A and B are shown apart, each in its own frame.
Chain A
Amino acid sequence: MNREVAWRVFASEYNDSSHEIKNDAEKTPSYVITPLGAKINRLFIVGVLTDVERVSETGDMVRAHVSDPTGVFTLYSGQFQKDVTDSLLAIDVPAFVAVTGKSRTYKPEDSEDIFVSIRPEKVVEVTALHRNQWILETCQRTKERIDAIVEAKKMTQPNPMDLRKLGYNRNLAEGVVAALESYNSIDVSKYLSLIQESIQFILPSSEKLPDLQTNIEMEEEKPQIKSEEVVIANKIKNESEIKVDESEKKAFEEIENTVLKLIKDIEGEDGAPWDSIIEKCEKTGLDKDLVEEALTSLMDKGLIYEPILGTIKIT
């Protein structure tokens, strides 16, 4: 499994997304599919941080907005990533920031639309130079996606294999095919003019770039906001990302193998009870936390699943 790529997309393309690939039972990551075929689990943006606001009653959750030449990204950061939340709160707005983050979606119950946001993993204050580099890079990547969409539309049966033969990498080839399947019509010209407008910002001959995009549409200020927070907070809770030191990965893999073997031994027809796994593992000298970490990781990899709460089976 390669690390999820950090896509470069403008706010306008990201916010236009109305389709996603949902993870089924924690086995695979979720992706937002943009109209140009970016298949986003992670993204990297640089823009102007315009506001940071505490939104939950306890103040654990903050919402922030980052503006680029085409629109505004919405960020939500909660108590499970206190470092990031703190660094957001510490920045005096407006300021240039670079953000690496995970894509998030919210779908109101009685609606077909999805709302996309970002859960930041890292936020650092940067300079106009970083921002200009990002605009250029994002123009280039967006153009590549447009080219890939145009090529795919020419095919009678668009498929990743043929796109890869044209030189597009696996991520993009899969994303483009998913976009063509998800969106009825893709207005490529809209994004071409988006690139052209954005590039004007950084062309040496052009007028100086206005520092801030002020027309933030506060469309998120809807009554659903409460439930949205709950949904996002729950999702964050579910996410038990294991941060293992690289040098410890090997050792951790061994632990996973031990745990897997043990489950195999005791699962029988009905599966292995969680408690007996822990107990047996503790006997072999494994620490309970480690075993639970290994179980979560094995589940993420799809090697085991939980048919009934508290019972583990091998897939």
Chain B
Amino acid sequence: MAVNEIKPHVEDILDILGDESKVSSKEIEQELKKFLEYGVPIEQAKQTLIKKYGGSVPFTASSSERTLISDLQPNTQSVNLIAQVITLNPKEISVKGETRQIYYGIIGDESGTIPFTAWKELDVKKGDVVEISNAYTREWQGTVQLNFGDRTATKKTDEGKLPKNAFEPREHKINDLKSGLGVVEVTAKIIELDKKDTEIDGVKKKIFSGIIGDETGKAQFTSWHDFKLKKGDVVNISGGYVKTWKGIPQLTFDEKAKVKKLDSKTLDVEKIQTQFMPIDTLLEKRGALDIETEGTVVDIRPNSGLVLRCPECDRVIQNNECKTHGTVEGKPDLRMKLVVDDGNGSVQVNVGKEITEKLLGKTLSEWQKIVESSGDESPIVNEMNNVLFARRVKLKGNALGDSFGTTVIAQDVSIIEVDMENETEAFNQKMGEEQ
């Protein structure tokens, strides 16, 4: 912040402290600068200084200055915004046995968009431009979250209060789509397409969903309007917003969006393929659709190998006892749960029957015979250890993030024969060059 930008804040502070205060504007300016150098948000720095010099922090923030969404910092006490409501959804939660109505959604201004949660009744509609005062922010999983609490005031205002470009879609690559983005524009190919009938408030509706992709990655989409999309089309979709499910981005749009069919040459469709993503990137995104990654098998979880599943719900059961369906005759299956780790991050990998058979070189029924004749599971356990433990593997599949971490549902697993000679030489050379 330049000196002339700091000045008004210094005056704000002196105003509140009043004439009796003996502190000079120079002192305030120096201290304020120091806070800012350390990255303390301006509002918090001001409040701290006011308290330090005996002033009382006013109930409303000392400044009614408007903050742009892109400038929001986590853990700020009071922020004022002018923004358009892009999505708005009610949600019922139960607090101390009482049901409460909260709202969540996305708002946007000319600088960007952000998800919000309102802990109070909201008297605004989707599409409204609103003036918000006294909202506050928190940090959640490394992103800024905007909250409207009891002290927050929201009121509908003129569209003219926002510059025109606030309503213009912003172009994104698929890989950059993340939860809370609104008014998004993407150019992508429809890779998969499904039609589903659904009923909302008694009205029958068709929804169109599937997978879109560009040269940076793939995402799911849902359209609430029939844009006559066809599988294989290359389209420009303008005016959607983004939600995520288990870390997988979902682009959602309705009749207000613009969808243009483009010449298929607009996109280098050859490049729309499975993208490689290192494990730590995957963990930061929490999940992703159709990716490749690699690491070393550092654990093979219990219950890998031969298992029995409930014939009703397909869940793995112990002693022919299903938690939901009682005593059942288990259906044999072969699967593995691996932990794959590259030293920077760790994912669990669920491996189904076909891939397990391929990796272990024997079919389910062959393993059943072997285990039956040996009387215990040790042959298959040893084989899993020999073939996989401490080996580097390449994985392909969808990655889903939840509160226990990220799990890759494997569509393929293969063991990497590391080219030790070349990789070692390359590393050694790099070390030499840096010396």
Contact = CB atoms under 8 A, between A and B. Distances in A.
A129 B419 CA distance: 11
A140 B390 CA distance: 17
A245 interface: yes
Contacts of A1: 403-405
Interface stretch (B238-246, B336-344, B362-370): B336-344
A271 to B, nearest CB: 17
Contact of A4 (B346, B348, B404, B428): B346
B341 A5 contact: yes
A3 interface: yes
Contacts of A218: none
A7 interface: yes
Given A124-B389, A137-B296, A157-B38, A169 B284 contact: yes
B431 A199 contact: yes
B425 interface: yes
Interface in B50-93: none
Interface string B409-420: 000000000101
Nearest to B142: A170
A248 interface: yes
B431 A44 contact: no
Nearest to A162: B39
B36 to A, nearest CB: 13
A268 B259 CA distance: 57
Given A7-B343, A124-B385, A246 B390 contact: no
Contacts of B346: 2-6
Nearest to B401: A2
Given A133-B392, A169-B284, A246 B296 contact: no
B427 interface: yes
Nearest to A143: B431
A249 interface: yes
* Chain A interface SS verdict (over half): helix
A169 B344 contact: yes
Assign chain B's interface to a size class: 35 or more
B163 to A, nearest CB: 29
Given A44-B298, A171-B344, A246-B407, A2 B425 contact: no
Given A130-B390, A133-B392, A202-B424, A2 B283 contact: yes
Interface string A160-182: 01000000011110000000000
Contacts of A64: none
Contacts of A132: 420
B160 interface: no
Contacts of A303: none
A121 B299 contact: yes
Nearest to A204: B421
Nearest to A264: B96
Contact of A243 (B142, B302, B323): B302
B299 A2 contact: no
B72 to A, nearest CB: 15
A134 B303 contact: no
A98 B343 contact: no
B343 A124 contact: no
Interface in A228-252: 243, 245-249, 251
Nearest to B389: A124
B423 interface: yes
Contacts of A54: none
Interface string A1-41: 11111111000000000000000000000000000000000
Contacts of A6: 298, 341, 343, 346
A122 B391 CA distance: 14
25 contacts: A1-B403, A1-B405, A3-B347, A3-B348, A5-B343, A6-B343, A44-B298, A46-B390, A98-B389, A98-B390, A124-B390, A126-B389, A133-B296, A133-B390, A136-B418, A136-B424, A136-B427, A169-B283, A170-B284, A192-B431, A202-B424, A203-B425, A204-B421, A245-B316, A246-B301
The 5 closest A-B pairs by CB, nearest first: A98-B390, A169-B280, A8-B343, A2-B405, A141-B343
Interface of B: 38-39, 96, 142, 280, 283-284, 296, 298-303, 315-316, 323, 337, 339, 341-348, 350, 385, 389-392, 403-407, 418, 420-421, 423-425, 427-428, 431
